[in-house]
Amino acid sequence: MILIITISTFVCITLLAVGAYWTMFRPASAATERLRRMGETSGVGGSVGSSAVAAMPSETGVAAFADRVAAPLAKIVPASAAEVHKLQKQLMQAGYRKSSAPMTFRAIHFAAMMGLPGAVALTCALLARPLDSAVTWILLSFVVGFFFPRYVLKKLVKRRQQLVQWGLADALDLMVVSIEAGLGLNAAIVKVSDELRDVHKDISDEFELTNLEIRVGRERDEALRNLAERTGVDDLRSLVAMLIQADRFGTSIARAVRVYSDSLRTKRRQRAEQAAQKAAVKLLFPLSCFLFPTLFIAILGPAALNLIDSFAKM
């Protein structure tokens, strides 16, 4: 039985190593190589190609490696358009905006699903575990490898949304001061992005990206909607809707932002009070599991020892 497990583990690891080597170091096709040479040697086409490459975001070696690893997976199990859009939205809300981010996540997901069962199978073979126990642990590791990357991504999204939500109140106060000082909404967004860079970097980056979208010619309404879509924070989505309505109907933006800032401060205080009320319930489980048994041992321990001695003498 141990020999069968060892041979199976060796065959699986060998196939994984060969597949990884073929994925990373396979030669490019003849058509791709010919197009690359034509792009390097052409005159006008070369300048156009270089400008296009300069406009595209530069990919690191890790991203290129992830693309090569995830390409066979995309061919074997192609993702639907809805799944790709949902994954890209989650990665954007987590702070990963590169075009290769979904492919990188799929590569990490695939590596976790294949690498973790392989490591568990090798460990079971080295420890000479029974076949039924080894299969159980391998299946369990496969389930963990399937769900763990998605769980980590959800935690990253929630953490970043919390950071954006914490910095939104300070950003609104600074925006109110800037608008009342005579700046327009676009200039106020730039001011907020510059001043909060060291304190609240996440919301500063989002405001800076919104300003860049407006500067390249995108409508301000669309840029603000993209801001709410990138973060996924409900308070920021309400702020964007309020700014769009105030801009569309010609009302005072400074007054609207001030009223919304006051309501946001009230909501923030209510959330703090709610978290304080939940603290007592959350402390009940650790108190009952760790503190109360210790107290019982310290208080009732001597009495229990006396009772044991009394019954022993009888």
What was the pLDDT predicted at 58?
Answer: 40
CB 285 within 8 A of CB 292: no
Residues 233 and 256 in one domain: yes
Q: Are 200 and 172 spatial neighbours (Cβ–Cβ below 8 Å)?
A: no
Residue 306 maps to a domain? no
Can you say whether the dihedral through the CA atoms of 114, 145, 159, 263 is positive or negative? Answer: positive
d(CA 70, CA 33): 21
Domain boundary among 110, 134, 160: 160
Within this chain, do residues 102 and 248 fall inside the same structural domain, yes or no? no
Q: Residue 17 has what pLDDT?
A: 64
Number of C-beta neighbours around residue 238 at 10 A:
15
Together in a domain, 17 and 148:
yes
Domain residue limits at 74: 2-25+63-160
- Between CA 219 and CA 249 the distance in angstroms is 16
Phi-psi region of 182 (alpha: psi -120 to 50; beta: other; left: phi over 0): left
Same domain, 18 and 145: yes
Is residue 30 in some structural domain? no
pTM: 0.66
Say yes or no: 197 and 109 in one domain. no
Q: Is residue 39 part of a domain?
A: no
What confidence score (pLDDT) does residue 288 get?
80
Residues 244/224, Cβ–Cβ less than 8 Å:
yes
In-domain check, residue 7? yes
Residue 127: strand, helix, or coil? coil
> In whole angstroms, what is the distance from residue 119 CA to residue 108 CA?
16
- Percent residues over pLDDT 90 in the chain: 3
> Using an 8 Å Cβ cutoff, are 201 and 194 in contact?
no
The label of the residue with tokens 């075009």 reads: 99
pLDDT beneath 70: ranges in the chain: 1-13, 15-81
Q: Say yes or no: 197 and 212 in one domain.
A: yes
Which of 160, 193, 215 terminates a domain? The answer is 160
Write out pLDDT tens, residues 213-245.
888 888 888 888 888 888 888 888 888 888 888
Mean residue pLDDT across the chain: 77
Number of domains within the chain: 2
- Token pair belonging to 64: 């290129």
How far is residue 23's CA from residue 17's CA, in Å, rounded to a whole number?
Answer: 10
Do 166 and 105 belong together in one domain? no
**Domain limit, last residue, from 135, 160, 185:** 160
